Every structure is written in C-alpha cells, then in structure tokens.
A and B are shown apart, each in its own frame.
Chain A
C-alpha cells in the first residue's frame, strides 16, 4: 500500500530531512513512527501524502508514484487519504459540523447522506451533541477528536496522523490511540507518528524509528 524506495528529501537550503529510506507498509497495517522532533517524521508523512515531493527515490502509494503525480490528479489521490495534522488546521470560522463535512463537500457528496456520515463520524470520536459549536469552545483533546473525525468522514483507505497524542495527558492519549485501533480493525492502513515511544509499546505494533532522517534500531 505504501512503499518507499531509497527516498531522500532535501529542503531548499540543503537540509536533509530524510535520507535514503526504504520500507513498505502493507494494506491494513497499523504502524508507529517514532523519533525526536526534527527526526523526519513529519516529512515522511508529507511525502506519503504528496505534500512534499522527494528529492530522490520512489514514493509509491496505492500503486501510484507520488513523485510523478501531476497537479491535476493529486487531489484525487488525496481523497483516499485521511490526514491528521500536527497543527490541527481546524477552521475556526465555522461550526464543528462544517469542519467535519469539508472532505465530503470537496467530493460533492449528497447533502443528506453527507450529514448522516458527519454525525456518525462525530459519534465515533465522542463529539455527539457538539456539532453546532464553534471549535474554539472545544478542549485540546476534543479538537484532536474533531481532526480525527474530519480525517475519517470520507472513509479513506489510509490514515496518516502526525503527532495526534502530543499535548494530551496519558489517559487521553490512550483513548485517542484506541480510536485509531478501532479504525485499524475495519481495515484502514494507519501511520501514526509520536515522539513518546512508551505510549506505543503497549500496542505491540511495528515501530519505525527515525533519527536524523534515517532508520535506527
């Protein structure tokens, strides 16, 4: 499902965020991505999502080479992905409901059916009853749940979460990870990055450890 072949990413200015990475994530796997901040976790996720283009190597997602993807077909690839951003990227000028329905609006989903899906997604992440609120009034953990709801509402095949447990206390972080586990159980391929490795240890999943843009043991 996700395949890296000797992928490197050098940012303008000469910083190598990711160096010569090769790995494969088969369909339906849940993988953790560990490493300190600056180790290249975010860059790796951005390479999968086609937000960044590799300087070298091949990034294969769903059978498509993301490096060769042209501008007009990239949006359609992205619709198979669910992205949870480190900085949330919540829109504070609209309600929780409108935030979550954005991916469906983009696809041009039927309004009634879309609303049903949005409410289902909000229910799944435990935000039932808050759909009319402005996201400002949500707590940090609830905002994270909002992001998750937005990432899964269109039922993507791949879910990429960049530091979804950062700034959350341990119990809350576990709740969030349990949520991801439940998506994994229905067959979604999931990559979760985090700098706190002790949290991942409880799940017994494969952990890709990054250090200075390379895998470490």
Chain B
C-alpha cells in the first residue's frame, strides 16, 4: 500500500513539475479545455436563469371567445349559461360589441380611425379564465368551445407562456446536444494532446518497458497529467463564465428593469463548479486513457 502510494505520489509530483516546466503549452491546453467547457456551462446558466423566472410567472390563462355576427341572442345567453356551469372555467365575463367599441375609443388613439367606419367592426366577446393553465388542457377547452353555436374564433392569451415553455424545452435539447458534442471534443482534444506527448516521450516509454515497467506505470503520468489539466480547465471554464456574466449582468438587469422585471443571469455556484470540474476531469481521463491504451496496444 505504501509502495503503491509512493508510485502515485511520484507520478503526481512529476505531473505538476511538467505543468510548471512547460507553462506555455500548459496554458494553451487549459485555455482549450476551459473555453470548450465554458460554452455549455454558459448556455446552461442562461437556460436555468430563464426557467427559474418562467416558473415564477403565474400564468393566468385567459381565453377570449369572439362570436359571429350572425350569433343570436339565444346563442349568447346559452353560451353564457354553459360557461358559468363549466367546471373547467374559473370565471367568465361578457363584453358586448358596443361596450367593446366604447372601451376601444376611450383607451386607444384609434378613435379617429374608428370614427371613419360606418358600423361597429368589433364582435361580441366572452373573456374567461381557465382553472388549469396546462397547455394541453387549454387546447382541449379551446377545441370544445369552438363547436358551440355562434362561436367564431377563440384566442388563447396564454399562448406566449406556452411558447416560452417550448422555447426553454428547445434550449434544453440544444444544451444536451452541445454538451454531448463538446464532451466528445474535449475527450478527443485531450486524447490528441496526450498522443503528442506520448510521441515526444516514445524513447522513454520504450526503455521503461524494456526494463520492467508495467502498463500502469507508463499510463499513470499521462493520466495524471490529463486529469490535472481537466480539473484546472474546469476551474478556468467557471472563471471565464463568471467573468462574462458579471460583465453582462448589469446590462441584463437594466434591460429586464425596462420591462418591469427583476432578472439577472445566475453565476455558477459551488455545486456547479464541482460538477463542471468533475466532468472535465472525467473526460480528460477518458481521452488520455484511450490515447495511452492505443499506444500500448502496439506492443504485445
């Protein structure tokens, strides 16, 4: 056990020595790993910032029912009654076309425009709020209401929330694709860097093998080197992202403020840093292991 620890300690010490001895190539490698990992990290932080805000928005799903001109008084009163008794509907309000016109004339600058019209272009309407905000249920309700006599058109005012939800889901998928691609890239980049290192230390490996080095002995320094770089690269990625966010956040806050919202992008917290560093270390480990494995396989 002591012996084993010593072997590992020696490898680790040599790895750190190698990092310090070649500061330029080490920095370059860290930069590559850091930037590769920073991209998905930034994307993830943006998505989780937006979704945390989106989940806080209380969506009051409003539905507007516009009636046909041909709808009779009976149609209107029957629908009003049905809406009142429908368990899916929290409340409903009828707005007659004259009322709507008055409201419009009062509220918007369209008075002149409306004055030019010979008759009221607005339809009778119901405005209701649904008990359930779920998109599929709203759609079912919409379809159901469309079959009622006299109904012309139905608008879901909560469609934007629905769209945001879809957009976030798309972002999530995009994030997953990017993570897979960049994780593969990271492992390949590391594998290639280690392959180059193996080539420059080919003689050393050969001599070591000839005088009794095990595969593990040969593998160890490369694996350690890659993992230390992965760890540092992960930290570097978090630093890059934190730097960019602290630079962006005042502007984001101002923008959100202009829309009357309190919003800013989340910075990577401790557990995120741990996960990012862990993933980077794991990926560089895999890359290095494959590179050394491929090289060692040449000897039998």
Q: Please give the number of chain A residues whose Cβ is less than 8 angstroms from any Cβ of chain B in the complex.
A: 23
Minimal Cβ-Cβ distance residue in A for B6: A108
Whether A116 sits at the interface, judged by CB under 8 Å, is no
Selecting from B96-104, B178-186, B208-216, B222-230, the interface stretch reads B208-216
Q: State the total of A-B contacts with C-beta under 8 angstroms.
A: 53
In Å, the complex CA distance between A93 and B204 comes to 9
**B211 touches which one: A71, A72, A83, A108 (CB < 8 A)?**
A83
**Could you tell me if B211 and A105 are in contact, using CB atoms closer than 8 angstroms?**
no
Query: Which residues of the other chain, B, contact A83 by a CB distance below 8 angstroms?
Result: 210-211
Chain A residue at minimum C-beta to C-beta distance from B200: A93
Contact between chains at B215 and A103 (CB < 8 Å): no
B211 engages A91 (CB within 8 Å): no
Chain A residue, CB-CB nearest to B217: A106
Given the complex of chains A and B, what is the CA–CA distance between A85 and B6 in angstroms?
A: 29
| Interface 9-residue window, one of A1-9, A15-23, A74-82 | A74-82
Residue B3 at the A interface, CB < 8 A? yes
Task: Please name the residue on chain B nearest to A106 by beta carbon.
Answer: B213
- When the two chains form the complex, which single residue of B4, B204, B211, B300 contacts A103, counting CB atoms closer than 8 Å? B211
Inter-subunit contact B203/A89 (CB<8 Å): yes
Contact, CB under 8 Å: B203 / A110: no
* Interface 0/1 of A40-77, CB less than 8 Å to B: 00000000010100000000000000000001100111
Give the chain A neighbours of B211 by CB distance below 8 A. Answer: 78-79, 81, 83, 102-103, 106, 150
Question: Known: A89-B210, A106-B208. Contact between A72 and B3, CB under 8 A?
Answer: no
Given contacts A76-B214, A102-B207, A150-B211, 18 further A-B contacts (CB under 8 A): A71-B215, A72-B214, A72-B215, A75-B213, A75-B214, A75-B215, A76-B212, A78-B210, A78-B212, A91-B207, A102-B211, A103-B211, A105-B10, A106-B212, A106-B217, A107-B212, A108-B3, A108-B10
Residue ranges of A at the interface with B (Cβ–Cβ < 8 Å):
49, 51, 71-72, 75-79, 81, 83, 85, 89, 91, 93, 102-103, 105-108, 110, 150
Could you list 11 A-B pairs, sorted by A, with CB under 8 Å? A49-B210, A75-B214, A75-B217, A76-B214, A78-B210, A78-B212, A91-B203, A91-B204, A106-B208, A108-B3, A150-B211
